[in-house]
Chains A and B, each alone.
Chain A
Amino acid sequence: MRANPPAETSLHSLASTTKLQTARLLRRWSREPAVLIQSLVFPAFLLVVFQWVLGRTITLFSGSDSIYGQVPLIALLAGMFGTLTTGIALTAERDAGLLARFWVLPVHRASGLASRLLGEMVRTLASTVVMLGIGYLLGFRFQQGGWAAVGFVLIPVLLITGFATMVIAVAVVSSGKTVLELMSTVCLLMLFFNSGFVPTDEYPGWLQPVVRVQPMSPAIEAMRGLSEGGPVAVPVLQTLAWTVGLVAVFGWLAVRGYRRAAAE
């Protein structure tokens, strides 16, 4: 067989090698029990239990159905926990020399990182749809039409690109695994302090600004607006700002770290 890949700097190469490596990652993740548990089983379990335990009480107090806060919250959480788990798997791929193996192939230099981001987006889309299905069984309904529903599932996909950029930047440094485990704990705490768990007004006054600006809350509010109804433009722009901010801060670190990790 002849070696005839497209020139590795070409856009054609970027598209084809990114697609192939994304397919590898998705195939791999679908076989990794930890990824399935963290991005599907555990969030689904939380969604059901939270709704059972807190659904009535929160609905009663806030006057709006709690499911429109819980489903967005859990969809985001599924994406984030999934990313943290694949981030930990990335540290193992680095240690095993797999990154080096792909680096020395004549593939586009950006395809390694691009395929990871694309993979995270596809995975998040899938887990969001699953959480929506469970939400449906618990009474969740789209009330703003089809386009709003499309917008709804794209919000976690948007936020996860920023979050995944940060996780990759962390995963490729040598102490990455420990930091990622710490980040998992922080994410677990964020689960309780956002506008989806209970409405922001329920938190003590001094904490409300923190709850309101943390990255999950604007995304939750945007998704609430796109399903139950309510403001959309401002929370979407805030989510976009968080995503752009995370990519701006961690993007360069991820690019540099990924290249270095391949050489180790």
Chain B
Amino acid sequence: MTATNPGSQWRALSGRSVLGGIREGDLVFATFTPVVFFVCFYVPLQNMADTLGVNYAQYLLPVIVLQSMLFTGIAAGERSATDALGGMAVRLRALPVPRLIPMFARMSANLIRAVLSLIGGIAIGYLAGFRFHGGLGSIIGFVVIALLFAVAMSFGADALGSIATNREATGQMLMVPQLLFTMVSTGIVPAVGFPEWLQPFARNQPVSKVADALRGLASDTVDATTITIALAWILGMLVVFASAALHLATKER
């Protein structure tokens, strides 16, 4: 017997989560969800955007990417609810495993899922005419912002899942904010398309703001303010959700 090593424990537990995702088909699902949603919005609405002279693939892709990051959050909630309800969480607490290791292992699996979604989304976008017009820096910025957003969402959902009483209900409950923030955003149509009273929300809610930044980075038209607002939202959510998740993971129960 070797002494317990948090690094190898983390690797073992991450591997377990990723394998579970492969077995349940979730990683395939992660890759194809953005493809399907992109097609569902792009095909019916592209003609109208064309009339206005807008490259709709360029316009739409950011919100599709962010939606798939929200789906990653939902999967994270279900993952953590499965551990919590299936007794795995309790079992790991009884082993010489540092309290935070299981949560970080789940987060690694979530990050892998997010990367696959990002690949799926950018691939379908490229087929439809989406392009990175900026340099390597803006591509990296795009990827980092999208993944940070996924990590923030995953922390929040992980915290919720760890106190859930029902796995399916957790997933279904999280679908509501997903749909609301994706649809009522400026990611599908510009704010002027919404009823006046709804425009301030549509324009300023986090998914819209982060989508603005992603769109700007891809089109190389971004300014510092847009990036700052997007990062402020992401980091703010990251701090709140991560501290909730850390608190729940280390709390005596």
Contacts and interface: CB of A to CB of B under 8 A. Distances in A.
Chains A and B share a contact (CB less than 8 Å): yes
Interface of A: 37, 45, 49-50, 52-58, 61, 189, 191-193, 197-198, 201-204, 207
A55 B192 CA distance: 11
Contacts of A54: 45, 188-189, 193
Top 5 closest A-B pairs, CB basis? Answer: A192-B40, A198-B44, A57-B193, A202-B47, A49-B183
Contact of B189 (A45, A53, A193): A53
Greatest chain B CB density within 10 A among A56, A201, A202 is at A202
Classify the secondary structure of A's interface with B.
helix
Contact of B188 (A53, A56, A191): A53
Contact of B48 (A45, A49, A57): A57
B225 interface: no
A4 B180 CA distance: 56
Contact of A192 (B43, B47, B48, B194): B43
Greatest chain A CB density within 10 A among B40, B180, B188 is at B40
Contact of B179 (A45, A191, A192, A198): A45
B8 interface: no
Contacts of B193: 53-57
Interface in B182-236: 183-184, 188-189, 192-195, 198
Contacts of A202: 44-45, 47-48
A139 to B, nearest CB: 11
Given A56-B193, A193-B43, A203-B43, A61 B183 contact: no
B5 interface: no
Contacts of A193: 40, 43-44
B249 to A, nearest CB: 31
11 contacts: A45-B179, A52-B198, A53-B194, A55-B193, A57-B48, A57-B193, A193-B44, A197-B44, A198-B45, A202-B47, A204-B46
Contacts of B47: 201-204
Classify the secondary structure of B's interface with A.
helix
A8 B41 CA distance: 53
Nearest to B198: A52
Contacts of B46: 204
A204 B43 contact: yes
A101 B44 CA distance: 48
Contacts of B40: 189, 191-193
A163 to B, nearest CB: 21
Contacts of A49: 179-180, 183-184
A52 B194 contact: yes
Contact of B194 (A37, A56, A61): A56
Contacts of A58: 48
Given A53-B193, A56-B193, A56-B194, A192 B41 contact: yes
A201 B46 CA distance: 12
B121 to A, nearest CB: 17
Interface in B162-189: 172, 176, 179-180, 183-184, 188-189
B43 A207 contact: yes
Contacts of A198: 44-45, 48
Given A49-B180, A53-B184, A189 B36 contact: yes
B4 interface: no
Contact of A53 (B48, B172, B176, B183): B183
Contacts of B45: 54, 57, 198, 202
Interface in B43-99: 43-48, 51
Contacts of A53: 183-184, 188-189, 193-194
A143 B130 CA distance: 43
Contacts of A204: 43, 46-47
B43 A61 contact: no
A55 B180 CA distance: 16
Given A189-B40, A192-B44, A204-B46, 18 more contacts: A37-B172, A45-B179, A49-B183, A52-B198, A54-B45, A56-B192, A56-B193, A56-B194, A58-B48, A61-B51, A191-B40, A192-B41, A193-B44, A198-B44, A201-B47, A202-B47, A204-B47, A207-B43
